[in-house]
Amino acid sequence: MLLRVGLFGGTFDPPHVGHLVTAVNVRHALQLDLVVLMVANVPWQKAGTRPITDSAHRLAMVEAAVADVDGLVAGRAEIDHGGPSYTADTLQHLAVEYPGAALFTIVGDDAAAGFETWERHEEVAARSSLVVVDRPGAPVELPAQFEWLRVEVPRLEVSSTDLRARCADGRPLDYLVTDAVLDVIRTAGLYAGAVR
């Protein structure tokens, strides 16, 4: 049996319940063996707009978040590769790591709407099935020349941006990130001085 592997890329600064609910529900809906939460090394579309937390800390948080979850794994290939992170390259890497696997690129609706701005996005569409996570009642308009699989997941209005701001001004993150992620944040002293 060939593996079915989902690639869910992100900055994960920090990873939150929105990411986890998405990953487990897409895995279930599309019967994927694995969903790789791939931690971007340099998120080139975000670089320069705000300070990005060190990749080792972001990887540690994702590893903590998925440690006890069946079928979810933290991906470090983009960090190991170094430089800017392009999904086209990462899919090539996964094709070598999981020979013959069917690959699925999973994106949230905001990321899907900007798909055509991705470096070598035609290659991404050729190497993988595109999956967009739909929020109930709010189907996003998608680049029409590509075929998209839509998976509906519960809408959780949580973003890493909001979590960094909460952390910076001392509001609780409980239930928005897992306890294990909270431990990493506290131990490493992340986001204390983060600004919106």
Judge contact between 170 and 186, C-beta under 8 A: no
SS3 15: coil
Per-residue binding string, ligand ATP, 2-21, x by CB under 6 A, is: --------xxxx----xx--
Q: CB of 87 within 8 A of CB of 118?
A: yes
Residue 58 interacts with ligand ATP (CB under 6 A)? Answer: no
Which listed range, 61-69, 82-90, 122-130, 155-163, lies at the site for ligand ATP (CB under 6 A)? 155-163
Is the CB of 89 or the CB of 163 nearer to ligand ATP? Answer: 163
Cβ atoms of residues 42 and 86 within 8 Å: no
Q: What are the E-state strand segments in 40-183?
A: 72-75, 102-108, 129-134, 148-152
Contact set for ligand ATP, span 158-177 (CB under 6 A): 158-161
Which of 83/154 has CB closer to ligand ATP? Answer: 154
Residues 111-140 that bind ligand ATP (CB under 6 A): 111, 133
User: How far is Cα 27 from Cα 29, in angstroms, rounded to an integer?
Assistant: 6
Cα gap 50→119, rounded to integer Å: 21
Q: Which is nearer to ligand ATP, 110 or 122 (CB)?
A: 110
By CB under 6 A, tell whether 86 contacts ligand ATP. Answer: no
In the complex, the residues that contact ligand ATP under the rule CB under 6 A are: 10-13, 18-19, 22, 107-108, 110-111, 133, 156, 158-161
